[in-house]
Amino acid sequence: MWKEIIHIEGPYDFDRVLERHALDPLNQLDLGKRTIKIPLCIKKESFVVEVAGLGTVEQPVFQIESRGPKTFILERVKETFQWNVSLQEVNRHFQQTNVKKLFTNHYGTPLVLDFDPLYCLFKCIIHQQLNLTFAHTLTERFVKTYGFEKEGVWFYPCPEVVAKLTVEQLRELQFSGKKAEYVIGIAKLVVDGSLNIEELKQKTDEQIYHQLIKIRGVGAWTIQNFLLFGLGRPNLFPLADVGIQNAIKKLFNLEKKPTLEEMELYKQGWEPYLSYASLYLWRSIE
């Protein structure tokens, strides 16, 4: 077992990170102790990593604890929690825009990734066209039926397991037939090497879009969410997302949801941090 202390530049509100992760029943965390346990799979081995918040918003300090390979885990944790992104710079940028109020109200809120990009893709497929409560329920059934538990932490089923499932097996969990086909289909692409998640990380947003859009069940909404929460791309703004539309309607006191053309106008000046505008707009209506 090893421990490492990490200091990063503020602002960074770790409590808001924990609050957001607490919405997912699969996540193992303690709001009082300010800790969260992360499932990581490395070359077919599984490791639990505990991250504890020790500092403040302005002076963030974290303790990482695990039994796994230290260098790899530290890099993954830093990537997952986006500790390399200067939220000070992001906040400074938005103080000159029409969403300044959002960045004051949600000061120091980072864009945090799902614990594994492949499982993020699975989750995006499962969550399609579902309300959030049932989406979490369905994902929890999927993981607890075909995944595994270690040290009190749940791991998603590996693609080799999912690829061997039948549509009928997932239908028993209340998957739709199509959604079951999509999840199994993606797992098969990973297993046969047609889809390599690590290689995707090296590609541009546009290249990833053109590759993933060819996969059955993967549409623009799924790709945008994967780019945001799977890979942490900083400049994404899902125009068709109902939550973002409602947030803009509320923020600017509109009588009805904005059209796509109106949203294009509102977002002028937000680049190159559109993903943070998206995140803060979502947070404003949660």
Contact 80, 38 (CB under 8 A): yes
Contact 64, 173 (CB under 8 A): no
**How are the residues of the chain apportioned to helix, strand and coil, as percentages rounded to the nearest 5?**
45, 15, 40
Instruction: Pinpoint the alpha helices (H) of 128-256.
Output: 132-146, 159-163, 167-171, 177-191, 197-200, 205-212, 220-229, 242-251
Structural tokens at position 280: 């803060």
d(CA 14, CA 53): 7
Judge whether 241 counts as a catalytic residue: yes
Taking the mean position of all CA atoms in its chain, how far away is CA 189?
Answer: 22
d(CA 268, CA 248): 13
Sheet-wide strand order for 2-7: 2-7, 61-66, 45-53, 35-42, 28-30
Residues, the chain: 286
The DSSP letter of residue 109 is -
Contact 108, 11 (CB under 8 A): yes
Active-site residue, selected from the candidate residues 15, 24, 205, 241: 241
Residues with a known catalytic role = 241
